[in-house]
């Protein structure tokens, strides 16, 4: 009954959804391309069956790339279809996986688009990453016999309370999931509270701990470090609207103590690159851009990372890292890329998307949570003043990542062998 009402409302709102897609394309042109795919209309892949993986955007794609590589190592002919919601996620799939997988945009959670998608791809299993819980999708998969696995699953207290407000609808939706591989005991408990049978929930940990740093990245980092020529450098990675101003405020404080300091500012979304560069100019700070490396010199105060896929390299080249999406109420981003490189890391109060990971790092003394931009500036200055303290915190971060590896192997054990047509 409730799912029927949900479906009707979604159909009625579809024109607005498509208009929003067009509006978003004014800032991010990728949203106006291939939009029919979101309605389940596309050319079928050359090989059908196999595994369907849904990873919303860049972070989720990055998390499942090692999983996909291992699956293809075990079954080189396994058809894998990867869906994403954002153009940046799509670009990362193409960059990281090329033609090893078939990529298409995720269909809207409506019977007609879902039917079109499933008829074309005919997957045997759906692996959803982290928080992708769609009622019609799950019901359709159950009806046609597609096994569903929610991988690297997390559920915040806030989200759990929202689901609890529509307890019957939530219980019916969650009951359609065949297996949940939760990041933590707390996540697992919330899924069980919402009605998922205990036997379908297990704790695997976060696969984001299983990241590996390629040798080629080390070489690129060294080139950048030579470019910085010993300057104090801190990076603000994956910043969001409203957060860049706070970061630049903090950098002015850092400059008052270290006049030669450099801030590497990396906006999360490419459609904001130009606006952030313009903001730096309005603030009267000397600017260079990663896309135009010839503009860098020792007088530059802010270096905007306006290229895609280079954040790990920029993080590795810095003395201190701040992970964005956390001074504003976005929920934070992956702080393990910096920790794995031994870069002391801080983040703001809003890290509900990384609650378990952030807590592990804080308790190990491998990261610091800051309350606001002023405290951020103080923390950056403290670390830049003390190289031995930076090294100690960075080493703790490396050890945390090493200790918590293994989730990838536990997740792989939950994926049954899939026959190849």
For residue 302, list its beta bridge partners: 263, 287
Nearest C-alpha neighbor of 228 from the set 293, 278, 133: 293
Q: What is the CA radius of gyration of the chain?
A: 22
CA-wise closest residue to 205 among 182, 172, 230, 231: 182
Contact 114, 141 (CB under 8 A): no
In 158-244, which ranges are E strands? 179-182, 201-203, 233-239
The Cα 209–Cα 398 span in angstroms is 10
Enumerate helices (H) and strands (E) in the chain, giving the number of each.
Answer: 17, 14
Distance of CA 117 to the CA centre of its chain: 24
Catalytic annotation, residues: 60
Residue 400: its H or E element: helix 387-403
Helix (H, G, I), strand (E, B), or coil: what is residue 202? strand
CA atoms within a 13 Å half-sphere pointing along the CA-CB vector of 329: 1
Query: Alpha-carbon distance 421 to 401, whole Å?
Result: 38
**287 in Cβ contact with 275 (< 8 Å):** no
Burial of 164 per CB tally in 10 Å (0-12, 13-18, 19+): middle
Contacts of 87 (CB under 8 A, 6+ apart): 28, 30, 31, 33
Provide CB contacts within 8 A for 211, sequence distance 6+.
Answer: 62, 66, 336, 337, 340, 401
CB 113 within 8 A of CB 378: no
What backbone phi and psi angles, to 5 degrees, belong to 279?
-60, -45
């Amino acid at each position: 009954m409730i799912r029927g009402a949900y479906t009707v409302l979604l159909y009625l709102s579809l024109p607005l959804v498509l208009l929003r897609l067009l509006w978003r394309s004014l800032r991010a042109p990728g949203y106006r391309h291939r939009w029919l795919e979101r309605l389940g209309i596309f050319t079928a892949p050359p090989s059908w069956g196999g595994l369907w993986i849904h990873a919303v955007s860049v972070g989720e794609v990055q998390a499942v790339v090692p999983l996909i590589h291992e699956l293809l190592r075990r079954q080189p002919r396994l058809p894998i279809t990867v869906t994403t919601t954002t153009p940046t996620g799509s670009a990362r799939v193409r960059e990281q996986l090329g033609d090893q997988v078939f990529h298409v945009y995720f269909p809207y959670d409506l019977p007609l688009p879902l039917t079109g998608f499933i008829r074309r791809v005919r997957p045997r299993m759906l692996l959803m990453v982290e928080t992708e819980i769609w009622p019609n999708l799950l019901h359709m998969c159950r009806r046609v016999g597609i096994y569903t696995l929610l991988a690297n699953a997390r559920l915040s207290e806030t989200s759990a309370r929202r689901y609890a407000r529509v307890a019957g609808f939530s219980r019916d939706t969650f009951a359609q999931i065949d297996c949940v591989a939760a990041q933590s005991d707390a996540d697992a408990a919330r899924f069980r509270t919402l009605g998922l049978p205990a036997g379908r929930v297990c704790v695997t940990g976060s696969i984001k701990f299983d990241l590996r740093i390629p040798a080629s990245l080390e070489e690129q980092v060294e080139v950048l470090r030579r470019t910085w020529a010993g300057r104090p450098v801190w990076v603000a990675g994956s910043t969001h609207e409203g957060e860049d101003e706070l970061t630049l405020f903090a950098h002015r404080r850092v400059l008052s103590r270290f006049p030669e300091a450099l801030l590497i500012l990396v906006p999360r979304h490419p459609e904001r690159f130009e606006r952030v560069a313009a903001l730096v100019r309005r603030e009267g700070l000397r600017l260079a851009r990663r896309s135009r490396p010839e503009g860098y010199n020792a007088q530059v105060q802010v270096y905007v990372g306006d290229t895609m896929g280079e954040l790990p390299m920029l993080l590795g080249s810095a003395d201190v890292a701040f992970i964005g999406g956390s001074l504003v109420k976005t929920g934070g981003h992956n702080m393990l890329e910096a920790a794995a490189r031994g870069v002391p890391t801080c983040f703001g109060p809003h890290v509900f998307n990384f609650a378990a990971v952030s807590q592990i790092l804080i308790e190990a003394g491998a990261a610091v949570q800051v309350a606001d931009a002023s405290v951020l500036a103080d923390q950056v200055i403290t670390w830049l003043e003390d190289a031995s303290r930076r090294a100690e915190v960075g080493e703790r971060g490396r050890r945390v990542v090493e200790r918590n590896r293994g989730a990838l192997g536990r997740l792989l054990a939950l994926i049954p062998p899939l026959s190849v047509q």
